[in-house]
Amino acid sequence: MRRFQVISLTDAAATRIREIVDGREDAQGVRVGIKKGGCAGMEYTVDLVTEPNPADDHVEHDGAHVYVAPEAALFLLGTEMDFEVTTLRTGFVFNNPNQSSACGCGESVELKPADLKALAEARAQGA
């Protein structure tokens, strides 16, 4: 049975995470969270992890490790983390079903929490 995962990673995101981690001593992955900020109200955060927090949800894809902050899990449930290179920007992209709007520049978003019942059911089915 497949283990429950708060978010999923594309191959491009996994490749970029491995590149970041391989270039840093003691790095084990990245931690994804959210913080208040920006004109739409919230921003995604991506930080290097040298010591995983046992409270984080752990996602692994093709050797790339992502840790999801517990306070962000309800806002990130069902999100696909991707990495893209375009003419105007290079970076991680979050395809999040809980996003209700974004600012014009794309740096901040408005997120609604996922249904607690849906989260509990998803965890029970994938545990």
Place of tokens 């497949």: 2
Handedness of CA 66, 67, 69, 75 (dihedral sign): positive
Most confident of 36-40, 95-99, 113-117: 95-99
Compute how many other C-beta atoms are within 10 angstroms of the C-beta atom of residue 92: 17
- Note the pTM of the prediction, 2 decimals: 0.79
What tens digit of pLDDT does each residue of 21-77 get? 998 989 999 999 988 766 657 788 899 999 999 999 999 999 999 999 998 888 888
Is 111 within 8 Å of 96 (Cβ atoms)?
yes
Q: In Å, what is the CA distance from 45 to each residue of 42, 68, 69, 118, 119?
A: 10, 10, 10, 24, 21
Say how far residue 51 (Cα) sits from the centre of its chain.
17
- pLDDT at 1 (0 to 100): 39
